[in-house]
Amino acid sequence: MTGEAERGRGRTASRWVLPFILILAAAPAAGGEVSTVLSLEAGGLVSYSDLDGWSADGVFSQTNELGFEYFGKASGERGDFLTFDLQTRLSYDPARPDDEPWAIEVHNAWLEYKLGLGQQVRAGHFEPAFGLERAVDTHGTLLQTLAMDAVGAKHDWGVAYRGQLGGADLEVAAQIGSGMGIERKDGSFLATARASTPPGGAFRIGGSLLHGRTLDSMGMRTIPQPLYSETATERTMAGADAEWSAGALDLSLDAAAGWIEDQGAVGGLLQVGAPFPRTDALRVEAQFSAWWEEHVDEEAALSAVVCASYRLTPGWTLRAAIASDRSYGNIPDETRLVFQAYYYGVAP
């Protein structure tokens, strides 16, 4: 790609993303009493693969990064009426294409307005209403959900509505189908819907539907924009997810099935976690996942990951994981060791 094309791609992202960030920064001017929290984050990782040796490349959707989260609420006489969130980071990943290891990643950038009676309208960059990713926070963790396989992205730009239906939480979203960057071409779009039991209990279940034409991209970044495919990929999926807590043991399930480009696709994930005996600082989790697509043999893969997390301080967490990937296609089998140091805490 030429330098002029690269600069044009960067200007496209800046033209849309930066004004939205300014809107978020100005959200407290909406009136009423405003409370905000500024949190800082930092992360570094190194990995070893039996195929490539030692590396500082990003893995499990994580990179070496510095970032922040700016979260707030505006309240009036009748309580909260506006919530806003901006979570972004500067990341370094030497494996990114086009010799662009540095990038700005905008993860959350949304405004949510309460309509009353448990109803909210959200606009900006947020998770599609599909699967376990909508219920859990995987922003800084090594273990991930099926979102990248089933949806094609963890976040997207658009609008959403949340409310209640027959005792269940209901969310529907309409987004542009481009993921981290802002690009719409070849009729790209993403429509999702999810119904789930309310959070807070020992057992929670959810069901999701998805239809859209999403753009495939290389790299999770916003500025400069990712390298997008020229044509969109049609997806129609149904999903089911569940979370169950039994004492110290946590169990999570994530499953999706449907069609990608009129060909069958199906996948599932099981995750079990518990604190190490006699300490809450050390937690061990095991995850087993499988994904298969009829028209892409390289995507037929099994993965098993065991991850240990140690909370060194209230802000710092150290993680070590071993992952074994086995493929039925053309991708070679691989075993990886990953070490991560991650910080997330409220700014002084």
Q: What pLDDT, in 10s, does the model give residues 190-237?
A: 999 999 998 878 899 999 999 999 999 887 888 888 889 999 999 999
Residue corresponding to tokens 């405003």 = 34
Q: Which of 183, 159, 182, 181 is nearest to 172 (CA)?
A: 159
- Label residue 314 left, alpha or beta by phi (over 0 means left) and psi (-120 to 50 means alpha): alpha
Categorize the per-residue pLDDT at 9 as very low, low, confident or very high, splitting at 50, 70 and 90: very low
Total residue length of the chain: 348
Q: What is the pLDDT of residue 10?
A: 42
The structure's pTM equals: 0.89
pLDDT mean across residues, the chain:
88
Q: What is the pLDDT of residues 145-160, one digit of tens each?
A: 999 999 999 999 999 9
More confident residue, 327 or 235: 235
Q: Which of 206, 227, 207 is nearest to 216 (CA)?
A: 227
Beta strands, E only, 93-167: 102-116, 119-126, 156-165
Q: What is the pLDDT of residue 4?
A: 42
H-helix or E-strand spanning residue 149: helix 147-150
Q: Is the pLDDT of residue 97 over 80?
A: no
- Mapped onto helix, strand or coil, the DSSP state of residue 166 is coil
Over residues 74-85, the mean pLDDT reads 86
CA distance 141 to 130: 19
Q: What is the pLDDT of residue 329?
A: 67
Q: What is the pLDDT of residues 264-306, one digit of tens each?
A: 999 999 999 999 888 889 999 999 999 998 876 655 689 999 9
Over residues 303-328, the mean pLDDT reads 95
Residue corresponding to tokens 């999706």 = 256
Q: Is the pLDDT of residue 62 over 80?
A: yes
More confident residue, 200 or 128: 128
State the fold for domain 3-346. Answer: Porin (2.40.160)
The two three-digit tokens of residue 214, written as one number: 């999403």
CA distance 250 to 255: 17
Domain boundaries, the chain: 3-346
Q: What is the pLDDT of residue 11?
A: 44
Q: What percent of the chain has pLDDT over 70?
A: 89
Over residues 75-88, the mean pLDDT reads 87
Categorize the per-residue pLDDT at 130 as very low, low, confident or very high, splitting at 50, 70 and 90: very high
